[in-house]
Structure formats: C-alpha cells, structure tokens
Amino acid sequence: MKNKVNHELHYEQIALGELKPENEYDKDKIRSIEESNQKILKEYPPELMAAQIKMRMNEPNRDAVQNRRIFRRIYIPLSAAAVFLLFIAIYPVLFERTGTNTSMESDTVRFKGNGPSLYIYRNENGETELLGNNTIVKEKDLLQISYDAQGARYGVIFSIDGRGAVTLHFPGNIYSSTRLDSGGKVLLPYSYELDNAPFFERFFFVTSEHEIDASVIMEKAGRIAKGNKSEMLILPEDQRQQSMILFKEEVE
C-alpha cells in the first residue's frame, strides 16, 4: 500500500502531538524529527537560545545582531575530551614560560607586571604556540584562549575584528556570571577559528573585584568596533583592562 506523503508541517505537528500518525511512514518521519530535535537542543541549548532571543527583542539595532553572527560562526565548542587533549598539548607551553608555579610573577609575552593575564595559543599541525602582541595570524588559524585571574574575581574577554564584529569569549553569553576561576591558568572551553575578517583581531580582558555586567562591556565594545578600533574602553574605577592585537595576514 502506498503511504500518503504529506508536507513537512504535517509531520512536525504529529511530532508536537497536535496530530496523530496515520501510518508507518508517519512514524518513521516522527522518529527522525525527534532525533533531530534532540540534536538541535543539544547543539543550541534552550537557556542560551532564550537569552539570545530575549536580547534580540530588546535590541532593535541590527548591527549588533550582525556582530553576534560572527561569534557563532567561528566558535568551535570542544568536547571534554578535546579540551583535555588540548590542555595536554598546551601544558608544556604554559609552564615552559612560567615554571611549575601557577601563580606566575609576570607574563613576559603578553602583559607586563603582576595581575590578571590573558594568553592566546595557536595550534598548528599539532604544535602549540603562545602568541604575543602583534603576532601575524591568518584565516582558519585555530586559537585557544586562556586566562590567569591572578586574584581578580570577575572578568570579561572579548575581541573586535577588522570588520568591526565583536565576539564575546567569556562568559558564554552576556547573561552569565563573569566570575573567573582562580588557581592558575584556565582554558576556555572553546577553540576559536579565525574567519576571513581582514586586518586584525584585537582581544580585551576586563577584570574587577566586583561582578561585571557583560552586556555593558559588550555595548562599550560595540561602540569601539564602530568607531576608532584602537581606543580602550571607558571603564569604572574598579575595572581594569588589557588588550592585545593579532594582525591578519592577507590570504589571496
């Protein structure tokens, strides 16, 4: 017997419990929809999506929305196993420069003096390299961000690229707590593949002893991104900031 084939909405409504399946073909379709549902909800968690939807509802400025697209596209979430493997790869680099003492005295590559530090590593052909200010990078370079709070309790990490797109790296979204982990260097649970934005990628690390509103920081970042991209943020007295820039190699 030939099964009746309906349009997709029909099957979606069966999967939602609004219609009843009529035949085996329906049931097969529903199973595939349910599997797809699970995959999508795992990939795009409801709490994160709800936060982004709410943010968009309160944000008529379409430019900011455009900027968020960039950050979604270039993030590559890592599994726990991948983070572990990456950590194993990065570990020697971490301590080559700092010894075995996690409360390092200074970051000779990134920021001078004591205090919170941001580290950016490039993983290329299995080799991990700690990048310094003004390093030349290129599209598709795989970067891993790490920070050492060095006593700071809260922080926000973001970057601005040559197109003026702002990418929030930490916390995961503007509604999350900006509480930093203490006790040494912390790898963010993402690697970061550089897209084809031209000229540069400028990273900022804002820290404080007090809770930071990441949405406020992102608003300020957006203003820099649209204006003079070499400026620093204007911050309250209790917040500190550091920045480093990576220059993009032109790819023909």
Partner 1 sequence: MAIDVEDFYRKYGPMVLRRCRSILKNEDAAMDAMQDVFVKILKKEKELNNSSPSSLLYITATNVCLNILRKSERKAEASDNSILDIIAGSDDPEERVLNNIFLDKLFKKEKPSTRTIAMLHYVDGFTLEETAEQVGMSVSGIRKRLRGLRKNGLELREV
Footprint of partner 1 on this chain (CB under 8 A)?
5-9, 12-13, 15-16, 18, 33, 36-37, 40-41, 44, 46-47, 49-50, 52-54, 56-57, 65, 69, 72-73
Smallest gap from Cβ 174 to partner 1, in A, equals: 15
Cβ atoms within 10 A of the Cβ of 79, count?
9
CA distances from 117 to 133, 136, 157, 214 (A): 13, 20, 11, 18
Q: SS3 for 109? A: coil
Nearer of residues 50 and 88 to partner 1, judged by Cβ: 50
Smallest gap from Cβ 44 to partner 1, in A, equals: 7
Smallest gap from Cβ 177 to partner 1, in A, equals: 18
Smallest gap from Cβ 8 to partner 1, in A, equals: 7
Spatial strand order of the sheet with 166-170 comes to: 136-137, 239-248, 200-208, 154-161, 166-170
Separation of alpha carbons 13 and 31, rounded Å: 13
Nearer of residues 6 and 135 to partner 1, judged by Cβ: 6
Residue type at position 59:
E
The conformation of residue 179, written as its DSSP 8-state character, comes to B
Nearer of residues 40 and 88 to partner 1, judged by Cβ: 40
- HSE-CB at 100 with a 13 A cutoff on CA atoms is 0
Smallest gap from Cβ 12 to partner 1, in A, equals: 5
Nearer of residues 134 and 196 to partner 1, judged by Cβ: 196
Residue type at position 161:
D
Nearer of residues 27 and 72 to partner 1, judged by Cβ: 72
Smallest gap from Cβ 122 to partner 1, in A, equals: 24
Q: SS3 for 145? A: strand
Smallest gap from Cβ 81 to partner 1, in A, equals: 24
Nearer of residues 54 and 210 to partner 1, judged by Cβ: 54
Q: 33 with 11: CB under 8 angstroms?
A: yes
Nearest-5° Cα angle at 50, 160 to 32:
110
Nearer of residues 114 and 196 to partner 1, judged by Cβ: 196
Strands 136-137, 239-248: pairing is parallel
CA 46 to chain centre: 17
Token pair for residue 7? 């349009």
